[in-house]
Structure 1
Amino acid sequence: MEQIKKPFILGLGGTTNSVSSTEQALAIALHAAEEAGAETALFGSDRMMALPHYRSDPAGLNETGEELVALVRRADGLILASPGYHGTVSGLVKNAIDYIEETARDERIYLDGLPIGLIVTAYGWQAVGSTLAALRSIVHSLRGWPTPMGVGINASGGIFNDGVCTEQGVNEQLQLVAQQVMQRAETR
């Protein structure tokens, strides 16, 4: 009997703090994808901090950069999560996204046709909206398909604790974005 391949969903994002609201939200969404049948990997704070500034030449890739590019190439879908810093995507997350440039000459260029779920956390609604719009624009320019649900979280109330979100509505949104990524990944 032929074994069905599980979709591989890469979670990319966070901050320099591995217990940030951004990385906790991403982990919750990845867990929902796992429960829906995916294999997942989290490329979070520790590995993002190990990435040098992206350079468009082979000398710019260290082992962590090569690992990220390999994970992107393998992915059937992504979930991107960024804090809203000064109204846009953080430099740490943007640098990691810039590594996708290494796939420009691949058979599947960039994120062509991949479902991409988006999560933004910020300490205020203004940064949430503008950062979510910036991520959607980035995904479009990389030929990806942002899911209809994009999760915007005002984390100023401290709603994350030890990997748990205390707001049921936010949990439902994180689960929905994971489900939308999975649905599209499974139909590819």
Structure 2
Amino acid sequence: MVEQTKKPFILGLGGTTNPTSSTEVALAIALEAAAAAGAETELFGSDRLMALPHYRSDPAGINQTGKDLVALVRRADGLILSSPGYHGTVSGLVKNAIDYIEETAADERIYLDGLPIGLIVTAYGWQAVGSTLAALRSIVHSLRGWPTPLGVGINASGGMFRDGVCADAGVNDQLKLVAEQVMQRAEAR
């Protein structure tokens, strides 16, 4: 009898209001690498991010998109978070989605406890990349998650993302590596 192992489920969460933004394309590339490594993946990007009302801890204030996000977080064996660096920190759109993780506070697995979390930041300048990556790491730590050793910081000011592809081989390698690090930890769980 052949034992079937469950594929790890990796949730990609992030983007901007534009589904072709460098932030969302970078996230999609990382999720493709996770899928190639054997994961089941799902991208929770721009359209769904924009459908989330401002988070409030009142169940009546959570619409179906919010409920879907919480269900995906609960199901996840790992996450990849991707945010643009807006004015030196995480965008409000991405932070609002992260705030929905509060709904897992009373779960058996509280927040992101023990989950591997890959981080991707895109910005039009290195200063915003660094401070936003540090902010994401701090958020993940406060939610009891395990940021991967590699956090991918991308200065996207050179226009390397076009038509769903990244023209920079080094950035592509980093996006693949962060996905592999999430997968390694997810499979070890």
Alignment partner, residue 138 of structure 1: 139
The match for 2:3 is 2
For residues 7-49 of structure 1, what are the alpha-carbon distances to aligned partners after superposition, in whole Å with 9 as ceiling and x for unaligned?
0000000000000000000000000000000000000000000
**SS in structure 2 opposite 1:4?**
coil
1:157-168 matches, within 5 Å, as 157-168=158-169
Shift of 1:57: 1.0
Q: TM-score normalized by structure 2?
A: 0.99
> What does residue 45 of structure 1 align with?
46
**Hey, what's the Cα distance between the residues in 2 that align with 1:146 and 1:56?**
26
For residues 180 and 53 of structure 1, the distance between their equivalents in structure 2, rounded to whole angstroms, comes to 31
List gaps (5 residues or longer) in structure 2. Answer: none
Say what the alpha-carbon RMSD is for the aligned residues: 0.4
Q: Is 1:72 aligned to residue 93 of structure 2?
A: no
In 2, the alpha carbon distance for the partners of 1:60 and 1:118 equals: 28
Q: Aligned residue for 2:188? A: 187
Q: Distance in 2 between matches of 1:122 and 1:164?
A: 17
SS of aligned partner of 1:146: strand
Aligned to 1:176: 177
TM-superposed CA distance for 1:162, in Å, is 1.1
CA distance, structure 2, for counterparts of residue 2 and residue 185 of structure 1: 19
The secondary structure found in structure 2 opposite 1:10 is strand
Structure 2: distance between partners of 1:86 and 1:156: 15
| Secondary structure, counterpart of 1:67 in structure 2 | helix
Aligned pairs (5 A) from 1:1-188: 1-188=2-189
**SS at the partner of 2:150?**
strand
Equivalences, count: 188
Q: Please list the CA deviations of residues 81-104 of structure 1 after superposition, one character each: whole Å capped at 9, or x if unmatched.
A: 000000000000000000000000
Amino acid paired to 2:92: G
**Whole-angstrom CA distance in 2 between matches of 1:143 and 1:27:** 25
Alpha-carbon distance in structure 1 between the residues aligned to 2:81 and 2:137: 10
Q: Deviations over 1:58-107 (max 9, x none)?
A: 01110000000000000000000000000000000000000000000000
Q: Deviations over 1:94-147 (max 9, x none)?
A: 000000000000000000000000000000000000000000000000000000
Q: Distance in 2 between matches of 1:121 and 1:51?
A: 22
Give TM-score scaled by structure 1 length: 0.99
Give the Cα separation in 2 of the matches to 1:69 and 1:148. 25
User: Which amino acid is 1:14 matched to?
Assistant: G
Displaced runs of 4 or more, over 3 A: none
In the alignment, structure 1 segments of 5+ residues that lack a partner are none
Equivalents in 2 of 1:60, 1:30: separation in Å?
Answer: 30
* Structure-1 separation of matches of 2:118 and 2:37: 15
